[in-house]
């Protein structure tokens, strides 16, 4: 096979990247639903945001809420809605929210491709 033909085949078999969005994995969605029920708010959804602060510059924020704000992006994943304000969306696009129950502690983990550095505890980042 010629080098040209090999390059052509490689380009044809590459898959297009997924659109930039924010997602939540099944386990994290299940934990949000459990927390909502335990707090007396079954059916609540999740607001995901960032704010200035933390040791790396920006901090992740999670809140149980019933309804989106007027300027929120609404993302549906695993039977729940994620509400993200437009400013936070810029920093969170491509992020997957997961839940870790490992030996290092339990909690939500943000797998954020935009983060250049993160703090040791994983609650703050910089871009």
Residue 13: predicted pLDDT = 42
Residue 105: predicted pLDDT = 67
- Is the confidence at residue 56, as pLDDT, over 60? yes
Can you tell me the mean pLDDT for 30-49?
Answer: 95
Q: Between these two residues, 46 and 103, which has the higher pLDDT value?
A: 46
**Spatial distance between the Cα atoms of 126 and 15, rounded to a whole number of angstroms:** 29
Question: Given pLDDT bands bounded at 50, 70 and 90, which one contains residue 10?
Answer: very low
Question: Domains in the chain, start-ordered, CATH in brackets?
Answer: 17-126 (2.60.300.12)
**Would you say 22 and 75 are in contact if contact means Cβ atoms under 8 Å apart?**
yes
Can you tell me the mean pLDDT for 60-64?
Answer: 93
**Would you say 50 and 88 are in contact if contact means Cβ atoms under 8 Å apart?**
yes
- Least confident window among 22-26, 35-39, 104-108: 104-108
Q: Which residues contact 118 (CB under 8 A, 6 or more apart)?
A: 56, 124, 125, 126
Residues present in the chain in total: 127
- Is the confidence at residue 41, as pLDDT, over 90? yes
**Entry pTM:** 0.76
């Amino acid at each position: 096979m010629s080098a040209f033909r090999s390059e052509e085949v490689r380009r044809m078999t590459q898959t297009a990247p997924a659109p930039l969005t924010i997602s939540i994995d099944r386990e994290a969605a299940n934990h949000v639903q459990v927390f909502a029920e335990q707090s007396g708010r079954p059916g609540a959804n999740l607001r995901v945001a960032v704010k200035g602060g933390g040791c790396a510059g920006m901090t992740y924020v999670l809140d149980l809420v019933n309804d989106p704000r007027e300027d929120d992006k609404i993302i549906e994943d695993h039977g729940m809605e994620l509400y993200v304000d437009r400013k936070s969306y810029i920093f969170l696009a491509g992020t997957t929210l997961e839940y870790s129950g490992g030996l290092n502690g339990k909690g939500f983990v943000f797998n954020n491709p935009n983060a250049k550095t993160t703090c040791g505890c994983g609650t703050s980042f910089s871009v």
